[in-house]
Structure 1
Amino acid sequence: MAQDSAHFGGLDDVDQALVHALQIAPRASWTTIGATLGLDAVTVARRWHRLAESGAAWISCHPAPALAESGQGCMAFVEVDCAPGRFHQVARALAAVPRVTALSHVSGDRDLYLNVMARNLADLSRWVTRDLAALDGVVSTRTHPAGPVHTEGSRWRLRALDHRQTAQLAAAAPRRTDLPAFDLTDLDQRLITSLSVDGRATYRALAEQCGASPDTVRRRVRRLFDANMLHARCEVARALSEWPVSVIIWGRVPAARLREATRRITGMREVRLCASVLSRHNLHLTAWVRSVDDAQRFEIRLAESSPDLTVTDRAITLLPMKHSGHLLDEAGYRVGTIPLALWPEAGASDDE
Structure 2
Amino acid sequence: MEILDEPDRRLAAALHIAPRATWDELAAVLGVDASTVSRRFARLVRSGILRIVGETDWGLFSSTLPVHLRLQTGSASPAQVLEKLADFPEVQRLALTSGTHPIFATVHAASEPATAELLSRIHDLPGVAAVTSLPVLDYSGKGSGWVPDVLDEAQRSRCVELAAAAEAPDAGRGRPEGTERQAVELLRADPRLAASRLAKPLGVARSTAQRILHRVFEQGWLRARVEIDGSHLGYATPFVLRVKTEPSAALQVRRVLGAHPSTRFVTQVASEHNVLCNGLARSRTHLAELINNDFAAVAGVRELDADLFLAETKRYWIPRGASGTLGEFAPPPLL
Whether the aligned pair in 2 keeps the contact of 1:225 and 1:231 (CA below 8 Å) is yes
1:170 and 1:343, CA in 2 relative to 1: closer, same or farther beyond 3 A?
same
Alignment match of 1:13 (pick from 6, 20, 33) = 6
Whether the aligned pair in 1 keeps the contact of 2:141 and 2:259 (CA below 8 Å) is no
Whether the aligned pair in 2 keeps the contact of 1:249 and 1:311 (CA below 8 Å) is no
Q: For structure 1, which segment, 162-171 or 311-320, has the greater mean C-alpha deviation from structure 2 after superposition?
A: 162-171
1:117 and 1:203, CA in 2 relative to 1: closer, same or farther beyond 3 A?
farther
Cross-structure match for 2:97: 106
Give 5+ residue unaligned stretches, structure 1: 1-5, 345-352
Whether the aligned pair in 1 keeps the contact of 2:95 and 2:310 (CA below 8 Å) is yes
SS across alignment from 2:92? strand
- How many residues matched? 331
Cross-structure match for 2:134: 144
Cross-structure match for 1:347: none
Cross-structure match for 1:167: 157
Q: How does 1:1-352 map to 2 (within 5 A)?
A: 6=1, 8=2, 10-64=3-57, 67=59, 72-129=63-120, 131-173=121-163, 174-178=166-170, 180-185=172-177, 194-202=186-194, 212-213=202-203, 219-311=211-303, 313-334=305-326, 336-344=327-335
C-alpha distance after superposition, 1:125-179 (max 9, x if no partner):
12111x3233333333221111221112212112333333333333332434445
Whether the aligned pair in 1 keeps the contact of 2:92 and 2:314 (CA below 8 Å) is yes
SS across alignment from 1:81? strand
User: Aligned equivalents of 1:303 and 1:158: distance in 2?
Assistant: 19
Scaled by the length of structure 1, the TM-score of the pair is: 0.82
Letter in 1 for 2:254: T
Tell me how large the CA RMSD over aligned residues is: 2.9
1:340 and 1:259, CA in 2 relative to 1: closer, same or farther beyond 3 A?
same
1:339 and 1:192, CA in 2 relative to 1: closer, same or farther beyond 3 A?
farther
C-alpha distance after superposition, 1:226-278 (max 9, x if no partner):
12232222233222121111111112222432333233323322112211112
CA shift for structure 1 position 103: 0.7
1:259 and 1:92, CA in 2 relative to 1: closer, same or farther beyond 3 A?
same
C-alpha distance after superposition, 1:154-213 (max 9, x if no partner):
1211233333333333333243444534235486666555544444345566677xx633
Q: For structure 1, which segment, 104-113 or 76-85, has the greater mean C-alpha deviation from structure 2 after superposition?
A: 76-85
Whether the aligned pair in 2 keeps the contact of 1:245 and 1:316 (CA below 8 Å) is yes
Give 5+ residue unaligned stretches, structure 2: none
User: Aligned equivalents of 1:193 and 1:102: distance in 2?
Assistant: 21
